[in-house]
Amino acid sequence: MISTHILDTNLGKPASGVTIQLYDAAHQLIGQGVTDQDGRLKDFGLETLVAGEYQLEFAVAPYFAAQNVSTFFPKVCICFFIANANEHYHIPLLISPYAYSTYRGS
């Protein structure tokens, strides 16, 4: 399972309404969703997961535009590798208009 959440470090609160797309190693779209009020996307609706490389693409420009805030990063792309398809992979994103950070969560 792959999940994520976004925290807006500029405001100190979750980033809701952000569209996130999930791509496989061939850069084919395999899942997508929108963060909820808690800034979370708990499931991409994948029935099976295989070991390999994946990419999450976060469309953050519309989120910042809705707040009348300009941003240097129109989207954030995070590539990661799944070694064990039976594990849960949680990839959080911390954003601000001019910086972002990520890590493997739990």
Phi–psi pair at 94, nearest 5 degrees: -105, 125
Taking CA 6 as the corner, what is the angle to CA 5 and CA 9, rounded to the nearest 5 degrees? Answer: 145
Q: How many domains does the chain have?
A: 1
Residue 64: helix, strand or coil by DSSP?
helix
The chain-wide mean pLDDT, for the chain, equals: 96
Give the rounded distance of the alpha carbon of 96 from its chain centre. 14
**pLDDT value of residue 106:** 84
Using alpha carbons, list the distances in angstroms from residue 31 to 10, 54, 64.
28, 11, 23
Q: How far is the C-alpha of 104 from the C-alpha of 11, rounded, in Å? A: 22
Q: Which residues span the domain enclosing 43?
A: 2-102
| Tens digit of each residue's pLDDT (9 = 90 or more) over 41-79 | 999 989 889 999 999 999 999 999 999 999 999 999 999
| Pairwise pLDDT comparison (95 vs 48), residue with the higher score | 95
Domain CATH number, residue 55 = 2.60.40.180
